[in-house]
Amino acid sequence: MKIKNICCIGAGYVGGPTMAVIAQKCPKVKVTVVDINEKRIKQWNDENVENIPIYEPGLSEIVKEARGRNLFFSTEVDKAIDEADMIFISVNTPTKTYGIGKGMAADLKWIELCARQIAEVSKSDKIVVEKSTLPVRTAAALKEILDSTGNGVKYQILSNPEFLAEGTAVDDLKNPDRVLIGGDIETEEGKEAMDALVNIYASWVPREKILTTNVWSSELSKLTANAFLAQRVSSINAISELCEKTGADVNEVAKAVGMDTRVGPKFLNASVGFGGSCFQKDILNLVYIARSFNLKEVADYWEQVIIMNDHQKRRFAANMVRTMYNTVSGKKIAMLGWAFKKDTNDTRESASIYVADYLLNEQAEIIVYDPKVTEEQIYSDLDYLGSRSGDANRQAVTVVNDPMEACEGAHAVAVLTEWDEFKDLDWKMVYDQMLKPAFLFDGRRLLEPSTKREIGFEFYAIGN
C-alpha cells in the first residue's frame, strides 16, 4: 500500500518539524498539518518563514522549500482527515491537573477527542499513527473508539514514538538513531500498515535503523527511553551535590565515568535540573502505570529521578540566597536564559521558572534575558504556577532584550540556559556594571571558572 495523503493532527513541537521533514523527503506525498489553534496555523502559514511558531535550527528553510508544494497547514481538521490514508496524532498529552491520577497520569482528553473526530469523519479505511507519547495500551482505547461507529471503516493503529530532541529536531529527524514502529504484527492488515509507514521513513532512513515491534513494546520503549535519559541527568546531578561538599569536580567525574564504553559520554552534563515537556511527564506516567499494577518498588525507583530533579532546582536557588548573606529581598538578580535548553523557544518545565519562583518568594527583583523566549511567555509561565497574582509577577519581573541591560546594577547573575552567546559575553563589562561583591551563578557549567574569578566575580557553579 502506497501512502499518498498524510494528515497530522497537532501543529506543535512534534507534529510541525516531523511533518516538515516527511514532506521534504517524500515530495510525492501530500502532508497536511491541522490544528484547532488558529493563531498557530496562521503563524505556520506566515509569508515570512522566520515567523513560524517554533524555533528550531534548519526548520524554516525546510518549511520554505516544502510549504505550498506538498506541505500544508490548515485549521480544516475534518477535510484533512477525510482526504488522508494515514493520520498522525501529535496532540499534547500533559500530566493531568485534576481528578484521578492528578499530577501523575497523562491527560488523554485531547487524544480521545481526536479519535472521536476521526471516527465521525472517516469514510474510507485509515492508518492511525500515535505520535504523541502515550501510556502503554492507549492504542487499545483508540481502537475501541474508532471501531465503535460500526460504519464499516477499518482502522489500523500504529505506535510511532518520536525521539527528536528540541533544538536539534531537524537533525534528529534527518539522521535518527532509530525509528520505532509498533503495530499489529499478528495480522496481514497490521503488517501491511506497518510496511506503509516503514516505506515513508525508508525514503531517507537506512532500513536497519527502522525497528518494528508490537504496539505495547513500542509504547513502553518511548517512556523507558526518556526515563533512562532523565535518570542519567539526575544521577550526575546527585553526584554534583556530593562534589560540592568533597572538592571533586563533577565535570572531571563525568568525563572519567563516561569514557567507560558501557556508560558512554553523552547526557552527563550536571545542570540546574532537566526541563522540557517530556522527561517529567513521561516518568510520572511510568510511575503511575507501575503503581496501577501495584509495582511499588518499580514506581518508587523511577519516582526518585523526579524527586532528585526537584531537589536540584530548589538547591540551586537556595544556594543563591545563602551565598548572598541569606537574603535576596529587594536585590536585583539577572537571569540569563529562560528556555529549558539552548536552541529552542520552548519553556515547558524549564528550571528557570522554578528558580525564579523561589527567588520571587524571597522577594528578589528579577530581570530576565533569553534570546528566543517572549516576554508574554515568561509571564504566562510564572502565572501558571499560581504562586502570586499576575500583577505581582509583572511588578517583580522585568524582561529585557539585551543581556548587558539585564546585568546592569545587578547583585547577582545566574546562567540558567546554556545559550552559546552567554559563553562569549564580555564578562569583564558585566562585572564592571554590577554591584559588588558581584555574584555569578552558573547553573549549566557553561563558563570557565578561573577567568571569572580573576575578573573578580564571586563565582559558583553546579558541582564545582
CB of 110 to ligand ADP, least distance (A): 4
Q: Which stretch binds ligand ADP (CB under 6 A): 12-20, 58-66, 168-176, 227-235?
A: 12-20
CB of 423 to ligand UDX, least distance (A): 15
Q: Phi, psi (5° rounding) for residue 316?
A: -60, -45
CB of 387 to ligand UDX, least distance (A): 21
The item of ligand ADP, ligand UDX, none sharing an interface with residue 267, based on CB under 5 to 8 Å by kind, is ligand UDX
CA distance 137 to 123: 26
The item of ligand UDX, ligand ADP, none sharing an interface with residue 312, based on CB under 5 to 8 Å by kind, is none
Which residue number has the CB closest to ligand UDX?
276
Of 339-378, binders to ligand UDX (CB under 6 A) are 340-341
Cis omega (within 30 of 0) for bond into 437: yes
Which residue number has the CB closest to ligand ADP?
12
Residues 6+ apart with CB under 8 A from 144: none
- Asked if residue 273 binds ligand ADP (CB under 6 A), the reply is no
**Member of 122, 251, 269, 309 binding ligand UDX (CB under 6 A):** 269
Q: Which is nearer to ligand UDX, 343 or 362 (CB)?
A: 343
- Asked if residue 55 binds ligand UDX (CB under 6 A), the reply is no
DSSP character for 151?
A: S
Q: Do 303 and 289 form a contact (C-beta atoms < 8 A)?
A: no
Residue 71, classed as helix, strand or coil, is strand
The item of ligand ADP, ligand UDX, none sharing an interface with residue 7, based on CB under 5 to 8 Å by kind, is none
CB of 119 to ligand UDX, least distance (A): 28
Residue (of 75, 61, 3) closest to 32 by Cα position: 75
- Asked if residue 12 binds ligand ADP (CB under 6 A), the reply is yes
CA distance 31 to 84: 9
The item of ligand ADP, ligand UDX, none sharing an interface with residue 12, based on CB under 5 to 8 Å by kind, is ligand ADP
CB of 10 to ligand ADP, least distance (A): 3
Of 314-343, binders to ligand UDX (CB under 6 A) are 340-341
Q: In one letter, which amino acid is 109?
A: K
- How is residue 61 written as a grid cell? 528553510
Residue 459, classed as helix, strand or coil, is strand
DSSP character for 95?
A: B
The item of ligand ADP, ligand UDX, none sharing an interface with residue 90, based on CB under 5 to 8 Å by kind, is ligand ADP
Full strand arrangement of the beta sheet holding 458-461: 397-400, 365-369, 332-336, 412-415, 439-442, 458-461
Return the H-helix or E-strand segment holding 61: helix 59-66
CB of 398 to ligand ADP, least distance (A): 27
Distances (CA, A) of 51 to 4, 32, 46, 61: 29, 19, 6, 12
Question: DSSP strand E in 319-422: where?
Answer: 332-336, 365-369, 397-400, 412-415
CA distance 183 to 195: 10
- How is residue 186 written as a grid cell? 499478528
**Member of 110, 216, 267, 379 binding ligand ADP (CB under 6 A):** 110
Give the relative orientation of helices 296-323 and 279-292 as an angle to the nearest 10 degrees: 140
Of 286-315, binders to ligand UDX (CB under 6 A) are none
**Member of 24, 92, 234, 393 binding ligand ADP (CB under 6 A):** 92
Q: Which is nearer to ligand UDX, 3 or 351 (CB)?
A: 351
Residue (of 65, 87, 81) closest to 3 by Cα position: 87
**Member of 3, 6, 7, 13 binding ligand ADP (CB under 6 A):** 13
Q: Phi, psi (5° rounding) for residue 71?
A: -120, 125
The item of ligand UDX, ligand ADP, none sharing an interface with residue 114, based on CB under 5 to 8 Å by kind, is ligand ADP
Q: DSSP labels for 26-49?
A: -TTSEEEEE-S-HHHHHHHT-SSG
The item of ligand UDX, ligand ADP, none sharing an interface with residue 164, based on CB under 5 to 8 Å by kind, is ligand UDX
Of 117-146, binders to ligand ADP (CB under 6 A) are 132
Q: Which is nearer to ligand ADP, 110 or 379 (CB)?
A: 110
Count Cβ atoms below 10 Å from residue 36 Cβ, excluding itself.
15
Q: Do 74 and 114 form a contact (C-beta atoms < 8 A)?
A: no
The item of ligand UDX, ligand ADP, none sharing an interface with residue 162, based on CB under 5 to 8 Å by kind, is ligand UDX
**Member of 7, 8, 9, 430 binding ligand ADP (CB under 6 A):** 9
Of 197-226, binders to ligand UDX (CB under 6 A) are 226
Residues labelled as active-site residues: 162, 222, 278
Q: Which residues bind ligand UDX (CB under 6 A)?
A: 162-166, 226, 229, 233, 267-269, 271, 274-276, 278-279, 340-341
